[in-house]
Amino acid sequence: MRFKLLLSLSTTAAMGLSLSTVYAGTVHYTVKSGDCLYSIATTYGTTVAKLKSLNGLSSNLIHPGESLIVKKTTSQSSSAKTISYQVSPSSSSATTYTVKSGDSLWAISQQYGVSVTQLEAWNNLNANSILHVGQKITIKGGSSSSTLSSRSSSPLDSIAAMAQGQVIVQYAEQFRGTPYVWAGTSPSGFDCSGFVQYVFAHFGISLPRTSYDQYTVGSAVSESNLAPGDVVFFDTDGSGASHDGIYVGNGQFINAASTQVEIDSLSGYWANHYVGARSV
């Protein structure tokens, strides 16, 4: 299923949302290779729907060299934004977790969307500390991935997130067939996390280099609530998030697998090694 970001003033009014943006002027933008309407809209602080309306576009398809009219707002910068989505739990709320057999700080950190370093600091632990069954662990902020269901605080944000996810997937799919290269981070060859990092960087989203570190970014998403653009993780090399890819919808994800960038199903082998997903 593909989502289109088609929002008007009447739509937002029906949603109970208030828009008070004041427009300063109009600029022209020449489309470059690799551009899409979403990336241009983000750069100029507008929306895909407004770009399409201003330029009489009936689809999201644009071509290099094409000139677009872009309306810029006074509250937005005309330079692209690079946003790092590192989780920073608030210290105002705390949860107490009781250690079970087989638990580790890493496993607990992934369940609650915090880092091992934070768990160590909150509980006076270090890298040499040993957990014991029944031990109480303090977690400040964070949300258990098993209880996550809502993806957004408002209808407008939810629609924007779905549209962004679709654009990310469309961009990622153009690299299908690119060879797998250990430690590869470019279209000449990717490894799994290098591919994910490269795709999101195109949209100004800065992710860590490894799949293990990427699993600490953003917010946890339950498997039943996956949406295009979410990053899915697997334990293909022992415990932990040793492999990842980008969810494309319909139970499939795109990833730099053992030989090339390809689309695989979350069933079978991958279902047996699935460890979780993050929305970034």
For the chain, what are the domain ranges?
Answer: 9-80, 94-141, 149-279
Name the phi and psi angles at 34, rounded to 5: 95, -10
Which residues are paired to 186 by β-bridges? Answer: 189
- Alpha-carbon distance of 237 to 223, in angstroms, equals 21
- Alpha-carbon distance of 54 to 193, in angstroms, equals 38
Q: What is the DSSP string of 202-230?
A: TTTEE--SSHHHHTTBSEEE-GGG--TT-
Q: Out of 63, 132, 225, 255, which one is annotated catalytic?
A: 255
Residues 44-102: pLDDT tens digits?
A: 777 777 888 888 888 778 888 888 887 644 333 333 333 333 333 333 467 888 888 76
Q: Does domain 149-279 have CATH number 3.90.1720.10?
A: yes
- Alpha-carbon distance of 131 to 119, in angstroms, equals 12
Q: Out of 28, 36, 243, 272, which one is annotated catalytic?
A: 243
- Alpha-carbon distance of 140 to 92, in angstroms, equals 7
Q: Out of 126, 192, 202, 225, which one is annotated catalytic?
A: 192
Could you tell me what percent of the chain has a pLDDT over 70?
73
Name the token pair of 2: 């593909």
CATH number listed for the domain at residues 9-80? 3.10.350.10
- Alpha-carbon distance of 206 to 84, in angstroms, equals 5
Asked whether this chain's domains 9-80 and 94-141 adopt the same fold, the reply is: yes
Q: Which of 91, 90, 142, 149 is nearest to 116 (CA)?
A: 142
More confident residue, 72 or 160: 160
Which residues are paired to 33 by β-bridges? Answer: none
* Residue 28 appears among annotated catalytic residues: no
Residues 221-270: pLDDT tens digits?
A: 999 889 999 999 999 987 889 999 999 999 999 999 999 999 999 999 99
pLDDT at 36: 79
What CATH superfamily is the domain 94-141? LysM domain (3.10.350.10)
Global pTM reads 0.50
* Residue 132 appears among annotated catalytic residues: no
